[in-house]
Amino acid sequence: MKLKQLFSIVLFSLAGASHAAPPAKQFFANAVFSDARLSPSGRYVGLRVGDDSTRDSLVIMTTDTMKVVGSARLDREDIGNFRWLNDNRLVFTINDRTVAPGDVRYAPGLFAMDRDGGNLRRLAHRNEPELQETGTIIKSRVQPWNTYLMDQEGPQDSDIIHVERPIWREGTEEQERTDLVKLNTSTGEATAVSRPGTAQGWLLDQKGEPRIMLQTQQARAIIHYKDHATGNWRQVAEFNAYDPQGGFHPLGFIDDVHLLVASQESGKSTLRTFDLSTGKMDEKALVSMAEFDFSGELIYTGNKLAGVHYLIDGRGTVWFDAAMKAVQQDVDALLPATTNLVTPPRQPQTPWVLVKAYSDRQPTVFMLYNTQSKQLAMLGGSHPEIQPGEMGTLDLLKYKARDGLTIPAWLTLPKSGGKNLPMVVLVHGGPYLRGTEWQWDAESQFLASRGYAVLAPEFRGSTGYGNALFSAGKKQWGLTMQDDIADAVKFAVAQGIADPKRICLMGGSYGGYATLMGLVKDQDLYQCGVAYAAVTDIPLMFDSGAMVLSDMSDQYKKYGAPELIGDLEKDAQQFITTSPLKQAARIKRPLLLAHGTNDVRVPFVHFKKMRAALESNQANAEFVEYVSEGHGWSLLKTRLDFWTRVEKFLDKHIGAAAK
């Protein structure tokens, strides 16, 4: 296919969009092409491919001829994460997209295979009972079920891989530590990595050796380094684990003693170099963003750091390598309407690089780019049925909160634009996380395709926009954090974006809490609310009951939550005022409340107690419980059921059917 055809047909077909709203399934279907990774040499590319009727499979193709040379396909399960170990061997995990979290009976397991699909070897068991078979592990050298891939890919130059082994406290969902194991994927031989204490995380150096161990003790984050000269572990840093200012997060290495870190200095995070031999931070930032915290991924090629993929309002790349900087410019010239993340192979022997392209209107598309011929080759897209011409636009706005603090907010408008639109205020979870970025988002675009403006405020407490915004959210659940959301609504009304009589509040997790609190505190602003997986009472997070499993650690309850959310004793009265459960009688607007029965982040007891309180007050509320679902909707049938309900609910209260 010629480039002009690729450009006009696949990516940016903005003309000829249908007038009917796209069906929900187009937005919430599982991705067709969900991942792509180049082999170390760049001679091969691995693709995870599937759809709603076909299991996710692993397909290996040559980059020069696009010929399939190997695959891993299972009849009853999906291929999960995969990694290249070297140019001939890969590892992968398994999952089941047809099973909700509460029905999962198996761990992901771990398998290795050659690129042609041969020499398949089971590296880790998938269920606990297998461990009880006498001699199984010794005879077959199969690792226990709690063996997981690291986030790091490793050096990609041998059959050796390091894997993590999380250890949970008995009878709980709380993770006690994470051990590290060196594993030969051909022989199954494994060796535990020595550690100077209880580890919560690990980082490998460029040679694939464990070099950094992360530890949390009480409220302190401690970083240990394995010295190249002595081979001994020593502590190199310690700081408050729950206050980013003054701390840092290790990302990778430049050389044996220079560590790249995301460091909180001068009110925002920057990319800096930390000298492990002296314990000193470089005063000059390697990468700094004017209005954003640094967040990104390091790119290595040819045994050196070549660049950094970063996130500001959208994603981009800083290239230290001049040749790759030129490649980026060439790709951007060919694809001017998308964000184009270019990733070279780790040990390049060919001119091929991987391109991940997307925009606010275009779901992710994977391509290959030949740096010699300067031609693009299509691999596949995540949601090929989505037509960019039917999608809305996404922009980052700023408004002033009532106390003068500047708050970012994302606005998605329907493709036709418009003024005085019905509006959904979409509140992100966390809350001490970043909400979204410039990309195609299924939820916002689904709502926009139904004619709604979608406003997503990055209220105080959100991360990514500097320490001032984050710190202003401490102990402000239901207070100034809630005011920020109300002020976003008033801003949208004043700008002529939203019809003040047709506004609905919606969110999950903390966003569900904020939705409920919005109906309590600012009911005149909202016509309705949609809350799912919602926190309904702050003290209930600290103690959900002896028979309820929660993945909130005891350390976070003791040290993190009191600093960020509040103290159970000192802030007891505040927790009553800011409890949707205890203030349920004040909720008068229509509400849709949904929850998964196997949610361990916000246990189902939050939903049960809130439902009882609302029913006793004869609230205008609809209740939906999804059996076996967790913190969010993992099954397609759940997503379709939920969003179809949301569509009908919104239409009834603020849409075309509203009185």
Domain with residue 451: its CATH number is: 3.40.50.1820
Please state, in angstroms and rounded to a whole number, the distance separating the CA atoms of residues 425 and 522.
Answer: 13
What order do you get walking across the sheet with 57-62 strand by strand? 33-38, 44-49, 57-62, 68-72
The number of helices, as runs of H, and strands, as runs of E, in the chain is 14, 35
State how far the Cα of 112 lies from the Cα of 123, in Å rounded to an integer: 7
Tokens encoding 554: 């005891």
Q: Which residue has the tokens 């394995």?
A: 226
Which contacts (CB < 8 Å, 24+ apart) does range 471-474 have? 471/245, 472/405, 473/431, 473/432, 473/564, 474/563, 474/564
Domain contains 351 = no
Looking at the structure, do residues 73 and 156 belong to the same domain, yes or no? yes
Does residue 466 sit in the same domain as residue 549?
yes
Residue written as token pair 């690291």: 150
Token look-up 């780019």 returns 369
540, 533 Cβ separation under 8 angstroms? no
- Residue 250 has what pLDDT? 95
Domain residues for the domain of 490 are 392-653
Q: 473 with 552, same domain?
A: yes
Per-residue pLDDT band for 171 (boundaries 50, 70, 90) equals low
Long-range contacts from 552-556, C-beta under 8 angstroms, 24+ separation: 552/174, 552/601, 553/174, 553/175, 554/174, 555/216, 555/218, 555/219
Residue 103 lies in a domain: yes
> What is the arithmetic mean of pLDDT over 177-194?
94
Angle at 543 between CA 218 and CA 457, to 5 degrees: 80
Q: How far apart are CA 428 and CA 278, in angstroms?
A: 41
To which H or E segment does residue 331 belong?
helix 322-334
| pLDDT in the model for residue 51 | 85
Token pair for 257: 């003693």
291 in a structural domain? no
What is the C-alpha separation between 164 and 108, in angstroms, rounded? 13
Running DSSP on this structure, what letter comes out for residue 302? T
- Residue at which a domain ends, from 132, 165, 193: 193
Average pLDDT, the chain: 91
Instruction: List phi, psi (to 5°) of 576.
Output: -75, -45
- For the chain, how many structural domains are there in total? 3
**Alpha carbons 182 and 113: distance in angstroms, whole number:** 18
CA distance 352 to 334: 16
Flag whether 467 is in a domain.
Answer: yes
Q: What is the pLDDT of residue 1?
A: 33
Same domain, 39 and 123: yes
C-beta atoms surrounding 357 within 10 Å: 24
Backbone φ/ψ region at 221: left (φ over 0), alpha (ψ -120 to 50), beta: beta
CA distance linking residue 551 with residue 173, whole number of Å = 5
- Percent helix, strand and coil across the chain, each rounded to 5? 20, 35, 45
Same domain, yes or no, for 213 and 187?
no
C-alpha–C-alpha distance, residues 525 and 457, integer Å: 15
Structural domain contains residue 362: no
* Residues forming a β-bridge with 166: 178
What is the rounded CA–CA span in Å between residue 516 and residue 522? 10
What predicted TM-score, i.e. pTM, was given to this entire model? 0.93
Closest CA to 180 of 167, 164, 169: 164
Q: Are both 133 and 232 inside the same structural domain? A: no
Buried b / exposed e along 188-200 (16+ C-beta atoms within 10 A): bebeebebeeebb
- Mean pLDDT value across residues 275-294: 92
Q: Are residues 180 and 220 in the same domain?
A: no
631-640 pLDDT per residue, tens: 999 999 999 9
pLDDT band per the 50, 70, 90 thresholds, residue 130 = very low
Concatenated DSSP letters of 504-561:
EEEEETHHHHHHHHHHHH-TTT-SEEEEES----HHHHH---TT------HHIIIIIH
Does 546 fall in a domain?
Answer: yes
Q: What's residue 139's pLDDT?
A: 44
One domain, residues 187 and 202:
no
Confirm if 637 and 643 have CB atoms less than 8 A apart. no
Of residues 345, 342, 460, 453, the one with CA closest to residue 399: 460
Mind spelling out the 3-state secondary structure of 398-423? EEECCCCCEEEEEEEECCCCCCCEEE
What per-residue confidence (pLDDT) applies to 172? 67
Last residue of a domain, one of 254, 284, 314: 284
Question: What Cα–Cα distance (Å) separates residue 167 from each residue in 55, 88, 432?
Answer: 30, 32, 26
84-96 pLDDT per residue, tens: 999 999 999 999 9
Mean pLDDT across the stretch 170-177?
Answer: 74
Question: Is residue 204 pLDDT above 80, yes or no?
Answer: yes
- Of 284, 303, 326, the residue at which a domain comes to its end is 284
Task: Clarify whether residues 420 and 562 are in a common domain.
Answer: yes
Q: pLDDT (tens digit, 9 = 90+) per residue, 13-56?
A: 444 445 689 999 999 999 999 999 999 999 999 999 998 888 99
Q: Is 316 exposed, middle or buried (0-12, 13-18, 19+ CB in 10 A)?
A: middle
Residues contacting residue 141 through CB under 8 Å, at least 6 positions apart: 187, 188, 189, 190
Alpha helix (H) residue ranges in 183-225: none
249 assigned to some structural domain: yes
CA distance readout (Å), 255 to 200, 227, 258, 274, 276 = 24, 13, 5, 11, 10
The yes-or-no verdict on residue 235 having pLDDT over 60 is: yes
Give the integer Cα–Cα distance in Å for 565 and 242.
11
In this structure, the answer to whether residues 545 and 635 fall within a common structural domain is yes
